Structure 1
């Protein structure tokens, strides 16, 4: 009798987790799309924006999009996993720009390749990426607290 009750509870918990996961993934997807639009807008309308915004926000928003994308993929993991994962990814892309072989420069010459891989290494980009990711992480933490979601979904440990 007791094992039947436990299996029913486990099944209900899995269903709740699945519903939460899809809602959270949808919210992160919307955030990713909004961030992409803002980032592209910061490039297209750079002449109409303040110089500081035009010079720095595009890269920070790109890093923000990477963070949000990782959160969408890893919705049940700790926020710090996406924080460190996105920093590692962004830094790897930036350092890869030191490699200037003809085949990768051909990819970088395309619009999508240039947006994803960048063109050349800039130390300032590392700072922009870090700021974008840390701001995204802080906003994500705030949203988690506002939503009352202060535990991980997979083992009920507090988020860090």
Structure 2
């Protein structure tokens, strides 16, 4: 049976892995927006939103490492969908926030049903990666 200290060491290592996953996913998402004209149309059109949702999943895992992956997947989906649905609210102060670069990256600008599907795809993909790599890590 693991001691409390060894369990905390595992949690710290896993948190660090998820932190780097957040940073890498964020960089990939920003790159997909910045260099979109160099990418195939499908990648440019869909990957940015999927990567944003993937970043949310990794962030939830980083913060709530003690919770299950399934829980993190559901929280990430609910959060992502809530942010997308918040785009239906068009108040002047919120539109001002969305008009900034950071506000647009975090809150988006306009509601699209397709974005909801992109979020599901991005979260499911990284959830699957997360499960696969953990299972293989334990098998070693």
The 2-side partners of 1:102 and 1:42 are apart by: 29
Residue number in structure 2 paired with 1:3: none
Matched, 1:146 2:139: no
Q: Deviations over 1:69-98 (max 9, x none)?
A: 000011121100100000000000000000
In 2, the alpha carbon distance for the partners of 1:146 and 1:69 equals 22
Offset, 1:30: 0.5
Which structure would you say has the larger Rg?
1
Question: Does residue 45 of structure 1 match 2:35?
Answer: yes
Q: Which residue of 2 aligns with 1:82?
A: 72
**Structure 2 unaligned regions, length at least 5:** none
Give me the whole-angstrom Cα distance separating, in 2, the residues matched to 1:143 and 1:110: 37
Match of 1:31 among 10, 16, 21: 21
Deviations 1:15-44 (A, max 9, x none): 011100110000000011000000000000
Q: CA deviation at 1:102?
A: 0.4
Q: Following TM superposition, where does structure 1 have runs of at least 4 consecutive aligned residues deviating by more than 2 angstroms?
A: none
Q: What is aligned with 1:55?
A: 45
Q: Give ranges in structure 1 of 5+ residues lacking alignment.
A: 1-8, 150-160
Q: Does 1:105 align with 2:103?
A: no
TM-score by length of 1: 0.85
Aligned length: 139
Which of 83, 105, 130 matches 2:120? Answer: 130
Q: CA RMSD in A?
A: 1.1
